[in-house]
Each structure stands twice: as C-alpha cells, then as structure tokens.
Amino acid sequence: MLTIRDVEILDKSKLNIIKKKSVKTQIFLYDTQRRADDFINKIKFRKNGNYNDIPHFLITKLGTVYQLFDTNYSSVTFNDRSIDRKMIKVAIENLGWLTKNTITGIMNNWIDDPYRAEPYIRNWRNHFFWDMYTEDQMSALSELSDYLCEKHSIIKQTPPSQGYLENASNFRGIVCKSNFSSIYTDINPSFNFRVLFNNAKEI
C-alpha cells in the first residue's frame, strides 16, 4: 500500500515553485546524484533557499516516498515553461555514475560519495560503473506511478529505454531525464523499465 510522507525539515510555503495550476501529461524521472539527506539539504540551502529545480516526490533507497509540493503546481528544470509545467517530477535516490580508484578499488560518485555495494556495469554515455536502484525503490515507484497516472489521467506508457527520444517533451506518459538529451545520465542503465511497468504499454 502506497504511503506518502512529508519532508519535515522543509517549509513547503517557502519552496521556490510555480504556484499556478497546470495539466500534467508526463511523469518525469531523474536521479538525486547524491544521498537523499544531502539532496534535501541542497533544496533547502542552495541559492539561499531560492533553489528552484524541485521534484514533486523523492523516493529513497529504502522505498520511502516523500512529497514536497502539490502536483498541480510546477518547478523549473529545463527553464522552458511549456515543458516544465506539464511534468510531475520524481527524484530517485541514486548516486549515478561511479569512478573506481585503481589503487584502492574504492568507488565514488562525482561528488566523492563512497559506494560500498556491487555496481551495475555497462558502458553507456562515457561511463562504465553505475549505482543500482533497489527493489524497494522500484516497487514504490510503480505504486506511485499507478496513483499519479490515475489521479492526473496520464497514460501509463514509457519509451523502451533511457536513451534519447526525439520530441521527448511531447511524449505522453513516463519519461526520464536522459530521454531529453544525450548529455544526461539519469535514469541510468540499471533501471529496468519492463520490470517496473510490466502492465504499461511500451512503445
């Protein structure tokens, strides 16, 4: 059963979001690129509290779902109102691509967060090692997606992968940041769309 929690350390009334209602046609997935608590602190303190790339939801490694603001409103990711206003944004706790110290064998992400599990290995977009999504996350995301698709009449369909999708902004369904440009590496290749959306229409 889906349980959605508040982020207690954030004052929702002070979040730098666009409080104008808009019709949603996409669920937009991306990575935190850092640990969940650091991600929350980034939202709270970066740009003196005026940080504006804020997700509607955050899903932690343990599968806990947090809601940051009302899904009828929007935030700024692409700096294009025609794109941003129709998205429900879901940030997934994931360190992203990893580098391996050839001497110590220790892996870190781009901000030197240590990684102590087995990585997913695939050569994609100039990186080789990746933080993996957990089963708890995938299960929580599947439930959240079902809920949001029903609530906002979003079609539960996905592109076949996290690769570039021409005219991704016009796709109606569930997309990820890497669908929009080859410069992005989230959602990473360890994400299995077929497992997550096994009841969805894949196009």
Question: Domain locations in the chain?
Answer: 4-95+133-202
Intervals of the chain under pLDDT 70: 195-203
Contacting residues for 13 by C-beta, under 8 A, at least 6 apart: none
Q: Which two tokens stand for residue 32?
A: 């935190």
Among positive and negative, which fits the CA dihedral 81, 83, 89, 93? negative
**Bridge partners of residue 88, in order along the sequence:** 27
pLDDT value for 49: 78
Per CATH, the homologous superfamily of domain 4-95+133-202 is: Peptidoglycan recognition protein-like (3.40.80.10)
Q: What is the pLDDT of residues 189-199, one digit of tens each?
A: 999 887 666 54
**H runs (alpha helix) in 81-134:** 81-84
**What's residue 192's pLDDT?**
85
